[in-house]
Amino acid sequence: MISQAVFKMVLPMACAWAEEQEAVILRDGVALTASQIADARHIGIAHPERVRLRVVEEIPLPLHPLLREAAEITGLISPRTAGLTLRYGIFIRSESWGERRLVVHELAHTAQYERLGGFQPFLEQYLYECIIPPGYPFGRLEQEAKRIERETCA
């Protein structure tokens, strides 16, 4: 796991990286379909029209060595990561494109970003839940997204 000191050092870098990646997704991604907008509204997203999805072969890892290592240690980003939400920008790995359950799960994280107030408050809570035992994927925010996925796609 990651120490509290490293967490405090990495958090601003994580926020900056997330904002940069969101800008890329918003520029190059696609808008939600009508059925995805309906799911987003059902989940409680205030601004589903802002959400964009971007298909990628693999979720990109941060370039900064410390941030990259933290992402790998926590298991947040790996070659198997199917999706990653960065507020209104969502990366979807190509082999998972079109999977409603995954999109709903990631949209649940968008709703959390909105509820918590943006990058810094969301990432501080979410990443903290990933580094304290039992770690990812057992944190409250991740479990909430899994619950919303189950309930919405039942």
pLDDT band for position 19 (50/70/90)?
very high
Q: What are the phi and psi torsion angles at 137 (to 5°)?
A: -105, 35
* Distance between CA atoms of residues 132 and 84, nearest Å: 20
pLDDT at 65: 93
User: How do the domains of the chain map onto residue ranges?
Assistant: 4-152
Q: Provide the pairing of β-strand 89-93 with 52-56.
A: parallel
Residues 23-43 have pLDDT tens digits of: 999 999 999 999 999 999 999
pLDDT at 119: 97
Percent of the chain, pLDDT > 70?
99
State both tokens at 4: 């509290």
pLDDT at 75: 81
State both tokens at 71: 């992402």
* Distance between CA atoms of residues 152 and 32, nearest Å: 16
The arithmetic mean of pLDDT across residues 68-72, rounded, is 88
Q: Provide the pairing of β-strand 89-93 with 83-86.
A: antiparallel
Residues 93-120 have pLDDT tens digits of: 999 999 999 999 999 999 999 999 999 9
The arithmetic mean of pLDDT across residues 67-88, rounded, is 91
Residues 131-144 have pLDDT tens digits of: 888 888 999 999 99
Per-chain mean pLDDT for the chain: 95
pLDDT at 74: 81
Where residue 3 falls (left for φ over 0; alpha for ψ -120 to 50; beta otherwise) is beta
Contact 148, 105 (CB under 8 A): yes
Helix (H, G, I), strand (E, B) or coil at 133: coil
